[in-house]
Amino acid sequence: MSRLYVESASVLAPGLAGWPASRAVLAGERPYLAEPMPAPTATLLPANERRRTTGIVKLALHVAQEAMSRVDRNPWETRTVFASSGGDSEVLDKICTALTLPDRPVSPTHFHQSVHNTPAGYWAIATGCTQASISLSAYDGSVAAGLLEAAALALAEAAPVLLVACDLPLPFPLSERRPITAPFGMALLLTPQPVASRLAVLQVRPTVEPATPMDDAHLESLRLGNPAARALPLLRVIARPEQGRVVLGDDCGVAASVEVGP
């Protein structure tokens, strides 16, 4: 099975404010404290666009931008995979609410923002990247599916791939039927070519095994509380890249086995 090199990683979630500040926490060298998540800045977006875009776009672009900021690689040569269970539920809630009102005043802006590839579209516009980009969902297996797609894309096309995974708590009343307890966003820059400066080396394949839990109870509840946080076991071994193996996924039957080495 071919190798993938992790050139860069980023994360934004409660108590995980960027990779440099989170690495030691993920590695178990510092305790995890579930402090509120700092607001994503997504400074790549022009100010007027930043005002109009919704939370999930800002979160996705923020973690994508953080991952790219620490490598000498042009975003426009990097393919992208955006994984999210539910996409922009804030916008979907507004549309479904408008549809219950007289004359059904659906906002044209909300409608075009409702597509699952909206973060991908804004990322392409902000970076000028015209490369292939895939947006996908596999419910609680979305991160596993995203990692498999990113690996397949990087290996089959011999190209660097930025994987971005994000989910946000849903607004009421959807929140009652799809509880997501905390925001979570993360990104990994993967390349099939060996690079000297790397965080870890991965070998990825699909599996039907159960997911690897987190040892820390608070991080485990974060992992179970957000589909994108199903990436946490992988981020933990990237933060502490001894030889090991983790399984990402959940009960929906989409899972990825990842062998990790330094």
Partner 1 sequence: MLSASCEQDWVNMAIKPLAIAAYTVTNALGRGVSAALRALRRGESGLRPCDFEETDLNTWIGRVAGLEEEPLTGEFAAFDCRNNRLARLALEEDGFAAAVRDARARYGADRIGVFVGSSTSGIRSTEIAYRDRDPATGRLPESFDYRHTHNLFSVADLTRRWLGLNGVAFTVSTACSSSAKAFATAYRHMQTGFCDAAVVGGVDSLCLTTLYGFHALGLASTQVCRPWDAGRDGLNVGEGAGFALLEWAESGDARVRLLGYGESSDAWHMTAAHPEGAGAAQAMGEALARAGLAPEQVDYINLHGTATPLNDAAEDRAVLGVFGPGTPCSSTKGWTGHTLGAAGITEAVFTFLCLEHGFIPGTLNTRQPDPNLGAGIVLDNQERPLRVALSNSFGFGGTNCSLLFGRDRP
142 binds partner 1 (CB under 8 A): yes
Minimum CB distance to partner 1 smaller for 22 or for 207: 207
251: left (phi over 0), alpha (psi -120 to 50) or beta: alpha
For residues 187 and 66, the answer to whether their CB atoms sit within 8 Å is: yes
Select the residue interacting with partner 1 from 67, 145, 189, 202 (CB under 8 A): 145
Owner of token pair 């894309």 = 153
Minimum CB distance to partner 1 smaller for 129 or for 219: 129
Q: CA-CA-CA-CA torsion for 94, 96, 101, 104, nearest 10 degrees?
A: 100
Select the residue interacting with partner 1 from 34, 37, 174, 195 (CB under 8 A): 174
Pairing mode, if any, of strands 244-249 and 200-207?
Answer: unpaired
Minimum CB distance to partner 1 smaller for 119 or for 241: 119
Binding mask 223-262 for partner 1 (x = CB under 8 A): -----------------------------xxx--------
Q: How far is the CB of 169 from partner 1 (least distance, A)?
A: 14
193 binds partner 1 (CB under 8 A): no
Structure tokens at 146: 């995203």
Looking from the CA of 32 toward its CB, the CA atoms found within 13 Å total 24
Q: How far is the CB of 198 from partner 1 (least distance, A)?
A: 20
- Which among 245, 247, 240, 246 has a CA at the least distance from the CA of 262? 240
Q: How far is the CB of 127 from partner 1 (least distance, A)?
A: 7
d(CA 202, CA 111): 38
Looking from the CA of 191 toward its CB, the CA atoms found within 13 Å total 18
Interface contacts to partner 1, rule CB under 8 A: 1-2, 76-77, 85-87, 92, 95-100, 104-108, 111-118, 120-122, 124-125, 127-139, 141-142, 145, 148-149, 151-153, 155-159, 172-174, 176-178, 205-206, 208, 252-254
